Structure formats: structure tokens, C-alpha cells
Structure 1
Amino acid sequence: MPFPGLKPTATSGSNAGPLAGQVALITGSESGIGRETARAFCRQGAAVVLNGRQATRLEATRQALAAEGYQVAACVADVTDYAAAERLIATAITTFGRLDILVTNASISMRAYFRDLTPEVFRQVLDSNVYGSVYPLKAALPYLILTRGSVTFISSISALNGMPSGSAYCAGKAALANLAHTLRLELADTGVHFGVVHIGFTQNDADKRVLDAAGRSVPIAYRSPRWQKSQAEVAASILRHVRRRRRRTVVSALGYLILVVHTLLPRLGDWVVRASQRRLRNFYE
């Protein structure tokens, strides 16, 4: 049932499902994991607000989902800009009248060792991962409190134990876990769910790029296909996490192994990473 004072979203036979009547906003959903997560929520009946910085690609994603019969809206916004984040949340409220689910997926990654990294690139990557989650949440929180909604930060298994050549990315993703914990304590009486999903190695779009030490866009480091999950598999994990209102979800067996080793045998974990850095340089570089 819709929450008092909030209008329900329209539903139809094509979008009836467990999340019918709910509105989900997924940042960074013009492509990749975000796009497939949006599709997964649509299939469960939610109305979805898409977001990205590339207008052409964002519109193509919106049209593709709309053509499948789903309720979708889109807003071009850089979520590291608070005014843009406010505009993004306003799009959800103006279009659908409420907000039930926020998934902060937008972020920038990198491949560069810290000693080579320019301060500006470090700041850019950190901002995208921290403020890119904080700003949309800050703007959305009053509406999420009304619906006793759900917030999920998309983190990474690299936040569990660090990863050479990913200092700013790992720092930003690790910060999200502590942020979620703090918000659970501060806002326990609101009924809002705060969770974190640590994703592992995932198949990327062919044109996926990350930043190098000087801020240039370069291809992502090589990952063996046998270590990768599909974008649809990761999206399904995010959907289950939100529906079950979990505190933490670690995607992939490798992620669980990293978590266990880091917790119980941290020195062994560091030795394994250093050994892999010597033997599998293209994994990091």
C-alpha cells in the first residue's frame, strides 16, 4: 500500500510485480551494472529513475527500457554536484510522486600507483565514490524517511582488503561501509534501510574506461573471464540485497574469501596480494 500522503505509481500488466507501486532511483544507470540493475528493478514492477552524465547514452537506455513497457524517467546529472543531485531527486518526486529505493552506483575508478598519482586525480576518484553517494542521499533522505525506504551503496571487494593501483578507489569504497553503519545508528528510528553491496570482478561494457595517474582515460586492467560475473548476475544480487534489506552483501566466492582472510589472517592476505602483484602485473597495471 502507498504510504499516507504519497501518491502511488501507476501500474500495468507489464510492470506488475513484488515492487509494483515503488519508485527506485539508480545513479550511474546509463550503462554497465547500473543499467542492468535498473532493468532488474523494472522487471520486479518498480518505476525507475535513470541517471548518468552522457545525455545520448542515457536517453538510449531510457528508450530501450520504455520500449519493453517499463515506467522509466531519466535525468542527466553529475552526482558530485549537490545542486545536480537535488535536481535528480526532484525528477523522481515530480515524475512519480515518491521515492522508495536509492541505489548509489555512480563512480569513477582508476589504475595507478599512489606515488605516481596526481592529487587532483585522487580527489576526483574519491569525490565520485564518496560525494557521489552522499549528495544524492542527502537530497533524497526526507522522501525516503516518508516511505521507510531503502538505501544501498555500491562498494567493491577491493574495499575489504585494499588493492595496489587503486588507492583512491579503495578508500572511497571503504568509506561507504562505515557511512552506512553510522547512518544505521543515527537513523535507526526512521525505518530506513542502509546497506552496502561489495561487488567483485564484473564483465564491463567494451568502452569501459578508468583514470590513469595523470587523469587520462585508459582501458580497465585485464581480468580473466573465469573470475568475472555478468552484469545481470551482479544486478540480481543487488536486487536481492534491497528486497531483503540486508546490511551487507558480498558478491562472488572470491569476495567472501577476501573477507574471511582479511578478518582472520590479515598478514596472509597481504602476502597473497603482494605475490600476485609480482606475478600478475597486468592484473593491476
Structure 2
Amino acid sequence: MPDAQPRPAPVLSPGQVRPGPFAEAGRDAFAGKVALVTGSESGIGRETARALCRQGAAVVLNGRNAQRLAQTRQEFEAAGFAVTSCVADVTDYAACEELIAAALEAFGQLDILVTNASISQRAYFADMRPEVFRQVLDSNVYGTVYPLKAALPHLTRARGSVTFISSISALNGMPSGSAYCAGKAAVANLAHTLRLELAHTGIHFGVVHIGFTQNDPDKRVLDAAGQPVPIAHRPPRWQKSQAEVAAIILDHIRRRRQRTVISTLGRLIVLIHTYLPRLGDWIVLTTTRRLRHFYE
């Protein structure tokens, strides 16, 4: 039986988003939507962007490494996804304005924002240089605030969705992660505040607390002096894949949830921190003594 002739691509009007390649297969939950995922040149951000594309969204990729970002964009385009990309440091407000402008120039709208970009650390507070603490905190707080502030008028127009990527370490703190934990806790509180303050806009504000996740081999965090070092050891059996985490993030966005805590460990932390906080502290202090490699 001869192959069926491919149908010609539909002609789009200006600003209209082309349906994703999986729309006809029923995997079109985000068809017609435009999403921006910060820090999507690699890691969880890249896989979240990929999952959004597979479910029909047009996606704006972002990162600071131009070469890596270009490689990710080429990979996505080769898969037939509707993407554009913009190199931007999300701790720079002017750069965030350019990022949002690039999204609008490419697709004419913005419906979904996922603030994923951040820097983590492996350093105890007493050892950290003040400028390193600020760098980590800025990446997590202003790296969330600035893209949202620049995008807010367009998200309001779309009655869109905003998801802040936080961490289970924001739920009860973690030794050797003071600035990171503080930043991730701040964005969770920010989401709650904005949910109240901007309720009239119809925008969804949610937080995803990510647990231990498999990382790219070249993943680095900052030490006390601000030098990049490998991430602390995490038992593989405790880790979810990046694709698994991305799928949970998409379900969170689709359901417009207020908070999603990933992993059994994360939910246990919430339970203990809420009802048995002294037990939670004892567990952390005990593991700090007996499993130092877990933190260092």
C-alpha cells in the first residue's frame, strides 16, 4: 500500500501558534499555548520544555550559555518542535525585558511561565563569601521576580499560568545550602502572596518543590569561594529522572495546582516539619554527623 501523501502545513495568520506535532495523536494539552521556561538550555528546564513541546506548546528556550542553548534549540527543531531561544541572564531586568520581547516577536503571545533558572551551592554559611551568598540568592529570587515582572502584562492578558520551581530543601532547610534554601523558600512565599494580590487577574501561581533528581554530568554548584564544583552525592535510588520531574511539572501546570511536592521524601518532610518539627531537626542533625558526604 503506498504511503499517504503528507498534508500541506496550514497557513498561519500573524501571531498564530502552529499546533504541536503530537496534537493529532491526542497529546495536545497545551496546543495553541506559548510557554517560556527559564534555564531550559539543560537539565530539568530542558526536559520541561521538551515535554511542553510534545504536548503541543510553542516554547521559548532560555539560558546564559549561548553554545549549549543553540544545541538544545537545534535538537528541538530537528524533532519538529515550535521553538525559539534567547540568551539572557534572568538576574538582569533589562535582559528579561528582551527575553519577553523575543517571545512575543516569535509567537505573538505568552501563556505559561516556568521560572526554573537558578544556582545552587555546597558551602556552609560560616565559610561563604558574602558575594557568593548574594549570587546564589539573586539567582533564585531575582531570577524569578524579574522574568515574571517583565511578563506580567502579557500573562494577565492571557489569564496565564506561572510556576516557580522550588525545592524540598526550602521546606525545612538543609545544612550547606543556606542561600539556596532561603531563595527557594522566598519564591514559595512570593507565589502565595501573588496568588492573593493578583487573584482578580485569573493568573495561576503555583510552586513545585523538586526533590533529588538525576543531573547532567556537567552539573555544577558553587562552593564557599564561588568556584563551580560537582553536586553533593545523592543515592541513585532516591533520584527521579529529569523526564519524570518534567511530567510532574506539566501535570501541575495543567491542573493549575497551588503546590506540588515531588517525591515521598518531600511529602515526609512536609509532614514532619508541620507536626513534629523537633524530630525533623534531630533527623537532619543526625544525618549531618553520620552522612557528611550527603551534604558536603
| Aligned counterparts of 1:210 and 1:62: Cα–Cα separation in 2 | 24
| Aligned counterparts of 1:71 and 1:124: Cα–Cα separation in 2 | 33
What corresponds to 1:169 in structure 2? Answer: 180
Q: Counterpart of 1:156 in structure 2: which amino acid?
A: S
Q: SS at the partner of 2:216?
A: coil
Aligned mate of 1:101, from 112, 120, 124: 112
Contact 2:20–2:58 (8 Å) recurs in 1: no
Q: SS at the partner of 1:59?
A: helix
| Aligned counterparts of 2:274 and 2:261: Cα–Cα separation in 1 | 14
What corresponds to 1:70 in structure 2? Answer: 81
Contact 2:137–2:179 (8 Å) recurs in 1: yes
Q: SS at the partner of 1:164?
A: coil
Q: Counterpart of 1:239 in structure 2: which amino acid?
A: L
Q: Counterpart of 1:9 in structure 2: which amino acid?
A: V
Q: Counterpart of 1:55 in structure 2: which amino acid?
A: A
Aligned residues: 280
User: Is residue 17 of structure 2 the alignment partner of residue 9 of structure 1?
Assistant: yes
Q: SS at the partner of 2:61?
A: strand
User: Is residue 291 of structure 2 the alignment partner of residue 280 of structure 1?
Assistant: yes
Aligned mate of 1:240, from 235, 245, 251: 251
Q: Counterpart of 1:124 in structure 2: which amino acid?
A: Q
Q: Deviations over 1:130-174 (max 9, x none)?
A: 000000000000000000000000000000000000000000000
What is the TM-score of this pair, normalised by structure 1? 0.97
Is there any run of 5+ residues in structure 1 with no aligned partner, and where? 1-5
CA shift for structure 1 position 14: 4.4
Q: Counterpart of 1:159 in structure 2: which amino acid?
A: A
What corresponds to 1:197 in structure 2? Answer: 208
Matches within 5 A, 1:82-231: 82-231=93-242
| Aligned counterparts of 2:133 and 2:90: Cα–Cα separation in 1 | 17
Higher Cα Rg, which structure: 2
Q: Counterpart of 2:92 in structure 1: which amino acid?
A: D
What corresponds to 1:23 in structure 2? Answer: 34
Aligned mate of 1:35, from 46, 59, 68: 46
Runs (4+) of structure 1 exceeding 6 A deviation are none
Aligned mate of 2:60, from 6, 25, 49: 49
CA shift for structure 1 position 7: 3.8
Is there any run of 5+ residues in structure 2 with no aligned partner, and where? 1-13
Q: Give the alignment's Cα RMSD to 1 decimal.
A: 1.0
CA shift for structure 1 position 15: 4.9
| Aligned counterparts of 1:12 and 1:88: Cα–Cα separation in 2 | 22
Q: Counterpart of 1:84 in structure 2: which amino acid?
A: A
What is the TM-score of this pair, normalised by structure 2? 0.93
CA shift for structure 1 position 45: 0.1
| Aligned counterparts of 2:23 and 2:284: Cα–Cα separation in 1 | 45
Q: Counterpart of 2:265 in structure 1: which amino acid?
A: L
Q: Counterpart of 1:190 in structure 2: which amino acid?
A: T
CA shift for structure 1 position 275: 0.3
CA shift for structure 1 position 18: 1.6
What corresponds to 1:270 in structure 2? Answer: 281
